[in-house]
């Protein structure tokens, strides 16, 4: 299978949904992907089983605040600079590109990067969604060493970091990101296909395409999306307050939705750090990270990303279960509510919504 220009709109819609508000604006990633496909041709989409065990897989993603990336987009040369550094360090070029996170623009832009480099795109990622921090990937949960990060920025700087563990990879990469204007391209967990087996979440590009196509021509786009995701609708109403600030290389804040129609009088607050983390109503948690929480346009079911939240938007909030990897003890330690400073024990969204 190959990804061609006609696939990009559906891929972008699906990645935006999986981005849970973060991962970057899919419009910039879509433009880059279309431009690259027109210049370099379709991008083969391969499974891990298609690659030899020693094939070098390079996970790529943008790192930084989505509000910055919305205005300061990636240049065309950054992936080449990263690939050159990979070849310098490993003595051979990348065999495939993988999205570090399938959510948001970081799920779409790898099509452009793979096309530019002339290599296939792996049908997998490290999250099954989007998360804000470098160590919040399946490879870290699987116990692979986080001993290499390569970064390149828009002006041409290339930085290679040799951290001692995943937490230090976040601290050091974030510092470089902030110095670069809170936006850079990053390769982390460069690994062989053999090492990737069991350490990455497979099939996520295909899943994003399926999610994006679910609403095409649907009489009830929101219902079609809910069915495809297996999601619960937490509220439908109007966005009445947005508290959003860019600090430390992240977007932090909260969005408040007041119910409309039969839900008038209800109020749901979604707290965020690049991604939507916790949904609270009347002091009760309705959904929490690592489960997915996405704000969508009520009429079109298109995702509304963090940097696009505006007063008065008519929206619905959907929540659904994360990949099982994130519900393991190590997964929750890495990306559960306490990893973000919440004094909350994780409760699956299925249980929270069944009780409310």
In this structure, which topology does domain 2-204 adopt according to CATH?
Answer: CV3147-like fold (3.40.1610)
Specify the DSSP class assigned to residue 75. Answer: P
pLDDT in the model for residue 67: 53
Judged against a pLDDT cut of 90, whether residue 132 lies above it is answered with no
The pTM of this model reads 0.92
Nearest-angstrom CA–CA distance, 286 and 55: 43
CB 321 within 8 A of CB 37: no
Between strands 121-125 and 43-46, the pairing is parallel
pLDDT in the model for residue 181: 84
CB 170 within 8 A of CB 250: no
List beta partners, residue 160. 150
Spell out the residues 6+ positions from residue 106 whose beta carbon is closer than 8 angstroms to its own: 15, 19, 23, 24, 29, 61, 62, 99, 100, 130
Specify the DSSP class assigned to residue 328. Answer: S
**By three-state DSSP, how is residue 235 classified?**
strand
pLDDT in the model for residue 172: 95
Q: How confident is the model at residue 273 (pLDDT cuts 50, 70, 90)?
A: confident
How large is the average pLDDT for residues 30-39? 96
Q: Name the CA dihedral angle for 16, 18, 21, 23, rounded to a multiple of 10 degrees.
A: -80
Which among 240, 289, 328 is positioned nearest to 103, based on CA atoms? 289
Segment 49-83, tens digit of pLDDT? 999 999 999 999 988 755 555 555 566 789 999 99
Spell out the residues 6+ positions from residue 224 whose beta carbon is closer than 8 angstroms to its own: 214, 215, 218, 301
What are the sequence ranges of the domains in the chain? Answer: 2-204, 221-352
Q: Order of strands across the sheet with 267-273?
A: 284-288, 275-281, 267-273, 250-259, 232-247, 314-320, 292-297
Judged against a pLDDT cut of 70, whether residue 250 lies above it is answered with no
Q: Is the peptide bond before 311 cis (omega within 30 degrees of 0)?
A: no
CA Rg value for the chain: 19
pLDDT in the model for residue 63: 85
pLDDT in the model for residue 24: 79
How large is the average pLDDT for residues 193-215? 97
Spell out the residues 6+ positions from residue 168 whose beta carbon is closer than 8 angstroms to its own: 146
User: What's the CATH architecture for 221-352?
Assistant: Beta Barrel (2.40)
Q: Burial of 238 by CB count in 10 Å (0-12 exposed, 13-18 middle, 19+ buried)?
A: middle
State CA 246 to chain mean position distance: 18
Specify the DSSP class assigned to residue 303. Answer: B
pLDDT in the model for residue 246: 66
Spell out the residues 6+ positions from residue 17 whose beta carbon is closer than 8 angstroms to its own: 208, 211, 212, 225, 229, 294, 296, 303
pLDDT in the model for residue 327: 98
Token readout for 138 is 């399946």
Q: Burial of 261 by CB count in 10 Å (0-12 exposed, 13-18 middle, 19+ buried)?
A: exposed
**By three-state DSSP, how is residue 253 classified?**
strand
Range from 42-46, 70-74, 325-329 carrying the lowest mean pLDDT? 70-74
Nearest-angstrom CA–CA distance, 204 and 103: 10
Please give the residue that has the higher pLDDT: either 242 or 223: 223
pLDDT in the model for residue 305: 87
Q: Calculate the average pLDDT of the chain.
A: 92
Q: Name the CA dihedral angle for 123, 126, 127, 133, rounded to a multiple of 10 degrees.
A: -140
pLDDT in the model for residue 247: 61
pLDDT in the model for residue 307: 80
């Amino acid at each position: 299978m190959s990804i061609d220009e006609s696939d990009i709109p559906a891929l972008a819609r699906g990645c935006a949904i999986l981005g849970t508000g973060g991962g970057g604006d899919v419009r910039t990633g879509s433009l880059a992907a279309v431009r690259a496909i027109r210049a370099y041709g379709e991008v083969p989409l391969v499974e891990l089983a298609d690659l030899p065990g020693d094939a070098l897989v390079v996970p790529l993603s943008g790192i930084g605040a989505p509000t910055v990336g919305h205005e300061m987009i990636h240049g065309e040369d950054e992936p080449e600079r990263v690939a050159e550094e990979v070849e310098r360090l490993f003595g051979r070029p990348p065999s495939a590109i993988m999205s570090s996170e399938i959510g948001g623009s970081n799920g779409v832009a790898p099509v452009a990067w793979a096309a530019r480099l002339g290599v296939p795109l792996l049908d997998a990622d490290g999250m099954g969604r989007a998360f804000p921090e470098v160590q919040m990937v399946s490879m870290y949960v699987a116990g692979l060493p986080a001993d290499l990060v390569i970064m390149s920025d828009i002006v041409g700087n290339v930085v290679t970091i040799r951290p001692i563990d995943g937490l230090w990879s976040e601290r050091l990469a974030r510092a470089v990101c902030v110095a670069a204007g809170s936006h850079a391209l990053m390769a982390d967990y460069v690994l062989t296909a053999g090492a990737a087996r069991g350490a990455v979440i497979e099939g996520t590009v295909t899943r994003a395409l399926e999610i994006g196509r679910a609403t095409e021509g649907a009489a009830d786009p929101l219902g079609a999306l809910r069915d495809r995701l297996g999601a619960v609708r937490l509220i439908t109403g109007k966005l009445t307050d947005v508290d959003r600030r860019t600090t430390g290389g992240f977007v932090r804040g909260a969005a408040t939705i007041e119910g409309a129609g039969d839900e008038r009088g209800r109020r749901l607050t979604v707290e965020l750090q690049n991604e939507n983390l916790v949904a609270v109503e009347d002091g009760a948690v309705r959904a929490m990270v690592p489960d997915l929480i996405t704000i969508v346009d009520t009429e079109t079911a298109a995702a509304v990303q963090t940097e696009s939240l505006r007063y008065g938007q008519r929206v619905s909030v959907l929540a659904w279960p994360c990949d099982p990897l994130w519900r393991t003890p190590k997964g929750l330690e890495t990306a559960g509510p306490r990893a973000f400073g919440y004094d909350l024990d994780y409760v699956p969204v299925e249980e929270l919504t069944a009780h409310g």
